[in-house]
Amino acid sequence: MSNIIGVVSGKGGVGKTTFSINLAAALKEFDQDSIIVDVDLGNPNIALQLGIPSMPLTLQEVLAGEARIQHSIFHHPVGLKVIPSSLSMSGAGADLSKLKEAIKELDEIVILDSPPGLNENVISVLNASDSVIVVTNPEIAAVTDALKVIKLAKDLRKDNIGVVINRVRNDAYELNSDEVELMCETPIICRISEDPNIRKASFENVPVVFRNPYSHATIDFKYLAARLLRKEYEPPNFLSLRRILNFRG
C-alpha cells in the first residue's frame, strides 16, 4: 500500500478526523504501524479527540526546522503514534510547503489528516501524498464538495484516489454508493456505518476500533484496512458472537 495517505474532504463536519484516527487503529489491528499527522493547522482536533496533552514539540516546530520529526511523535497509551499540531493561534500560519520533505524521514505508513476545503494547505497535503482518500457523507452537499477536492487532486496528477462514504445510515434520505460513485467519477473504497459507539469512544479519547471491536463501524474500518494492506478479513459471525457474549454474561 502507499506509504503516505492524504485524508481530505471537501467540507468540514464529515468525520474526517475520526476516520483518520480509526483507520490508524484498524491498521494496528493488522500489525501495521502508522503515524497520524494533524495537518489541520487552523483547527487541529486529533490531540483533543485522543486526549493528548499539550506538547512542547509539534508539527509547527518541525516545519520551522526547530525539531526533527521523530522527536515530535506522541506515543498514545492505546498504541497509536501521533504528530499533533499546536493548539495556539500562532501555529495556524506555519508553512506547509515543507511538509513533503519533513515526512520523508518517517518509515511507517503516514496518515495526513488534512484541513477541509480547498486552499494552499490542502494542496500541500495532496502534493505530499502517494494516495488520497476523500471522506464524504451520503448527502448531495457533501458529495458536491467532495467532487471539488477530487478535481483538485486530479489536477495535481494524483491517480490513486478513493472515496469513503462516512456515516452511512442506509435510509431513504441518503445517496447510495452507485449514485456517489457516478457523481464523483472515482471508486468507492469503503462505506463506514453511522454508529453511536463512535461518540462514546471519542468521549473516552480512544478509537472505536479498540473500544468496540465488534461494532458495525469497527468492522467497516477493518475491512478498509485489510483492503489497503491487501490482506484477507473475515468479519465476525454475529450469531456466534451473540452466543459467546451470552455465555460470558
Grid coordinates given for 248: 460470558
- What CA–CA distance (Å, rounded) separates 208 from 18? 9
Report which residue type is found at 113: D
Assigned CATH class of 4-248: alpha beta
Alpha helices in 96-233 (DSSP H): 99-102, 120-128, 140-155, 177-184, 196-203, 208-211, 216-229
Burial code of 50-66, b = ≥16 C-beta within 10 A, e = fewer? bebeebebbbbbbbeee
Question: What pLDDT is recorded for position 235?
Answer: 86
- What CA–CA distance (Å, rounded) separates 207 from 216? 13
C-beta of residue 9 within 8 angstroms of C-beta of residue 125: no
Q: Is the pTM of this model over 0.85?
A: yes
Report which residue type is found at 55: M
C-beta of residue 46 within 8 angstroms of C-beta of residue 38: yes
Please report, for the chain, the start and end positions of each structural domain, with discontinuous segments joined by +: 4-248
pLDDT by residue for the chain (249 residues), tens digit each? Answer: 569 999 999 999 999 999 999 999 999 999 999 999 999 998 999 999 999 999 999 999 999 999 999 999 999 999 999 999 998 766 667 889 999 999 999 999 999 999 999 999 999 999 999 999 999 999 999 999 999 999 999 999 999 999 999 999 999 999 999 999 999 999 999 999 999 999 999 999 999 999 999 999 999 999 999 999 999 998 887 655 555 555 544
